[in-house]
Chains A and B, each alone.
Chain A
Amino acid sequence: MYDGGKIIVGLIIGVGLLLSPFIYNAGTAAKAPDPELTPKAKEAKVCVKSKAYMTANHFSLLDVWRHTVVRDGERYFKAEDGKIYYKSLQVTCMDCHSNKSKFCDQCHDYLNIDPYCWDCHIEPEEK
């Protein structure tokens, strides 16, 4: 091929750069996420929605909540069992899940997710 030498060299450098993160981390494995419930959360037994739903969709729920709270003025949520919750990440959710570093951050850190919620919403103080 034309310019074969340059192409081969370029390919080696390119593929090398592409694979460099894997080479750098070869042999190590990140610790699997291990979210812990607080005693208060364990006692509550139920969240605003089922565990399966929340694990898969808590961010969508929070997105709908922030829209309906701020823009529509609808600040209360009725769960399936009829219980009413005040729609607030830092007041309601973090009231039960106050161990953010042992709960939320477990999966977030593993997946390298950095939700910007905490830029404004105040994290619970952890001992």
Chain B
Amino acid sequence: MGVNRREFLKIAGISTLFGLGGKAAIEVLAPGELEARTEALPLTEGKRWAMVVDAHKMDDALMDKCIEACHREHNVPDLGNPKEEIKWLWKEDYHHSFPGQQHEWIAEDIKHKNFLLMCNHCTNPPCCRVCPTQATWQREDGIVMMDQHRCIGCRFCMAACPFGARSFNWGDPRRVMTVEKLKELNPNFPTNRDYPTRSKGVVEKCTFCTERLAKGQIPACVEAANAVKEGAMFFGDLSDPDSEVRGVLKKHYTIRRKPELGSGPNLFFIV
């Protein structure tokens, strides 16, 4: 007769695993039926998007407008403290933007200048190299993109980024709508109802406004800068020899943050 208790339990356990596994296998192996219907309508054709900021034409007021445009466009909350702040675009002084370049006898105008910083969309990005789920990756047009659907919040990309360009949602960003102190800082949150917020537990950063590029629009910060002053910011395709950014780079000496690390930043500063 029989199966003793031990064998029975073993069989039951393995059958359950097979049952669950079998169902999963069927779902994974069944072909998708939607792919045939959707069609790609490519709108961005750049190969290596880059940005140039003219530090001489930039001033604090203009930078604030750019930051406001970016954070408004993308529902970036103001959390009121540097510990958990989220910033896609921000100002930093010369010393802290370019620590390797700092010395005691810097030219006066640079010494007291702030610089507009954001993700550099590096050509050889260490953050993409380390992400275990490809929640951040480099697109064919060079933009380092984020997929917040996939991010598990491990923050390895934040450790890998040499530029401190990434922010993590330590809590639910939507709490700025309910917590008293934060409501004052974020009166109209969400500021853009056509763009999602994020949820707690995911990393976010500047994406060179991919959703705007897809519609043929330039990034929000560049648009905001151009509305006030021509030539403060440029955005374009480095692989196109006739592009404006190529012209600007040829004409002016530019620096980048930490170039010696080899990540190939695509954010240039005219100094």
Q: Report yes or no: A72 in contact with B34, Cβ–Cβ below 8 A.
A: no
Q: Taking the complex as formed, is A17 at the interface, i.e. its CB lies under 8 A from any CB of chain B? A: no
Q: How far is the CB of B266 from chain A (nearest CB, A)?
A: 18
Option from A67, A78, A90 in Cβ contact (under 8 Å) with B39: A78
For chain B, give the interface size range: 20 to 34
Q: Identify whether the interface residues of A are mostly helix, strand, loop, or mixed.
A: mixed
Most buried by A among B34, B42, B44: B34
Q: How far is the CB of A82 from chain B (nearest CB, A)?
A: 10
Chain A residue nearest in CB terms to B190: A122
Q: How far is the CB of B172 from chain A (nearest CB, A)?
A: 8
Option from A70, A76, A88 in Cβ contact (under 8 Å) with B41: A76
- A49–B36 CA distance with the chains assembled, in angstroms: 13
Q: Identify whether the interface residues of B are mostly helix, strand, loop, or mixed.
A: loop
Binding stretch for chain B, among A2-10, A34-42, A101-109, A113-121: A113-121
- A58–B40 CA distance with the chains assembled, in angstroms: 20
Chain A residue nearest in CB terms to B211: A75
Binding site for B on A (CB under 8 A): 49, 60-61, 64-68, 70-80, 84, 88, 90-91, 116, 119-122, 125
Binding site for A on B (CB under 8 A): 32, 34-35, 37-44, 75, 137, 139, 145, 147-149, 190, 193-199, 210-211, 214
State the 10 A-B residue pairs at the shortest beta-carbon distance, nearest first.
A119-B199, A76-B41, A74-B40, A120-B196, A78-B39, A64-B34, A121-B196, A75-B214, A70-B147, A120-B199
